[in-house]
Amino acid sequence: MFIDSHCHLNFPELSDKINLIQDSMLINRVTHALVVSVGKKSIDSLINLVSKHDNLLASVGTHPEYGIDEEFSVDDICSIASINKKIIAIGETGLDYYRGSNYFEVQKERFRQHIRAARILGLPLIVHTRSSAVDTIRILKEEKAYEIGGVMHCFTESWDIAKEAMNLNFFISISGIVTFKNATTVCELALKTPLDKLLIETDSPYLTPEPYRGKLNDPSNVFYVAKKISELRNIDIMEVGKSSTKNFFDLFKVSI
């Protein structure tokens, strides 16, 4: 079986297709999905969605590029997470310097707040890092994020950064990018990351893997991420499924 460790099923593109998506997940043996928060304004819709489906779980947090003017304090995060049993992680949070921004300092402070909330709650972090690896690793160390660990979601940084993250008690999550032409770095990560530190995800509705690139993505397609990883490593696809599923349950402290 397979688990999508990162998706956005509450986004409008997917939320009105949830029954069809659940059917597709069943066909591809995708048993669970973690629906990840990107901001305070969407928390209610996210919680409402996962509360209706036993196989959907949730996080709480703010994407580094979303809701820059949105106040989301440590107390806010803790208050929301502590009263919702289906919230199993804090995030996604982190740093994104890819497009350039006047808000890098805001991102850094908000990242620190999310880490502090995660430590208070004892919940793992879902970390987004793009073109910001040095600052991301530095802040994780300074805020002692290794005490709770987490996952580096949709990871595309170098193998050296991956090793630093794993040394800080973080898993590496591979997305559909691994199936893209010329995705050399992600293929290297998929090949070198120890199976006991590997998670798989779709980041749907984005990053649809081959052979469906260009179409709307959903959690059922995490099967194709696992398939590509198995081909790169020359192992059975179910070995990828078994190990990544165990890693998911171990990290997020949930059971079937």
**Numbered residues of the known binding site:** 6, 8, 92, 128, 153, 203
Q: What is the dihedral of CA 146, 152, 156, 162, to 10 degrees?
A: 30
What strand order describes the sheet that includes 56-60? Answer: 2-7, 30-35, 56-60, 87-96, 125-130, 150-152, 170-174, 198-200
Residue stretches of the annotated binding site for a divalent metal cation? 6, 8, 92, 128, 153, 203
Backbone torsions φ then ψ of 132, nearest 5 degrees: -150, 25
Q: What is the largest CA-CA distance in the chain?
A: 47
